[in-house]
Copies of this chain bind each other. A is one copy, B any other.
Amino acid sequence: MEERAAPRRVVIVGGGFAGLFAARALRRSPVAVTVVDRRAHHLFQPLLYQCAAGILSEGQIAQPLRGLLRRHRNATCLLAEATDVDAGARLVHARRPDGTALTLPYDDLIVAVGMRQSYFGHGEFAAHAPGMKSLDDALHIRRRLYQAFEMAETAADAAERQQWLTFALVGGGPTGVELAGQIREIAGHTLDREFRTIDSARARVLLFEGSDEVLGSFGRPLAARAARTLHGLGVEVHLGTRVTGIDAQGLTVQDKDGATTRFDARTVLWTAGVEAPPIAAALARATGAAQDRAGRLAVQPDLTLPGHPEIHVTGDVMSLRRLPGLAEVAMQTGAYAGRAVRHRAAGGTKQQKPFRYLDLGSAAYICRGKAVVKVGRTHLSGLAGWLVWLFVHLAFLTGFRSRLGAMLSWSIVFASGSRRERAFPMSDAGGPPSSAAPAKA
């Protein structure tokens, strides 16, 4: 009797866009795939702000990983957080939610852990200014946003009322801009005529950005248009500012001349930076790989770590030719790594062509009917940008049902301002979720 070799073991750490696309590329390959993630769901991160803003439900943007991989006969999903890698013995060490350990042997390792919020060394900011990376963050921010108006309605005096009606956003990237637009729309449109004491439409939204433009990654012409749109929406944009302090009542910023200004705001949200989760440093130690300033792992042109052709690093946590942290990059690098492993599992020995990013463009939604879109040299803004944004997001949302539901939710919020998902849990009322806390590496 012929002995059948055990299938090659592929461990994929992380079930975001990169991890999911890697698993999909391996679907018909004779390997045993294990996807390990500290969440049980795959999150459609580009729409997370819409969950925070009360337009979409958690289930509309997050689907069970094992549901998505149900028909992948060769794939197993495990709920655990990878904590360390033994690159010599080829083992991933992980921790289950109850704290117990799990050890996963691999022949190929695909790292797709993404990035987490960074406070640039100011971990103490996290307690007052939650980030926007997980479902927990989104639900926490949803409560903070809607509860701020409730607190304003019952405020003891005008000064307190104004503090509750002031929202500060730190970071002028897509998430900050999208949240700024959402808050102005909630204030002026969704909450219209719901309050008796306050005029919700007079809520101030302050956006602080360190560089000299918002949405800098979209290039100067679109950045300027976005700034004009934000201005028209009533968002107060403060460029060239650096946050030096945050507390429960507001924040202090420093401009380029070194002058500091205090802003009172009971709601401060942080979208300013990202850093690699601790597993990246563990991998760097285990393999000698280099990390950039944010902790991203420097990879070779074929996305492997130097000296470790069996370890691919993909998605946001990968550092290669300054590729941006976009869903599209994560999908393409994940699929690339999956195909590379598939080739080898099929007995192939051909050297893979270096990874090449196909830039399909990027988009940011600002407010109803207005978005900026950049595809190569083509720039779109206003309604045209919004229509492209709509088409792209519907196309990429996973599953017909999610598309239909999102379409319905968008139609209603666009037409009437009404948002269905305004209910929020109170159980985190004591502070932001632990996921907002900076890495304790």
Contact = CB atoms under 8 A, between A and B. Distances in A.
Interface string A397-441: 000011001000000100000111111111111000111000000
Interface of A: 38-41, 43, 54, 57-64, 66-67, 70, 76-80, 96-98, 100, 102, 134-136, 139-140, 146-147, 150-151, 153-154, 156, 193-197, 401-402, 405, 412, 418-429, 433-435
A389 B418 CA distance: 29
Number of copies of this kind of chain in the complex: 2
29 contacts: A40-B146, A40-B147, A40-B422, A40-B424, A41-B423, A43-B423, A57-B60, A58-B425, A61-B423, A66-B194, A66-B195, A70-B193, A70-B194, A76-B197, A77-B153, A78-B150, A78-B154, A79-B147, A80-B154, A96-B151, A97-B147, A135-B424, A135-B425, A135-B426, A139-B427, A140-B427, A405-B420, A426-B435, A427-B428
A261 B397 CA distance: 50
Given A40-B146, A100-B156, A425 B433 contact: yes
A43 B38 CA distance: 31
A391 to B, nearest CB: 23
B79 A151 contact: yes
Given A79-B154, A96-B154, A433-B427, A58 B194 contact: no
Contact of A67 (B41, B422, B424): B422
A193 B401 CA distance: 20
A349 to B, nearest CB: 31
Residue among A60, A66, A433 with max Cβ neighbours from chain B (10 Å): A66
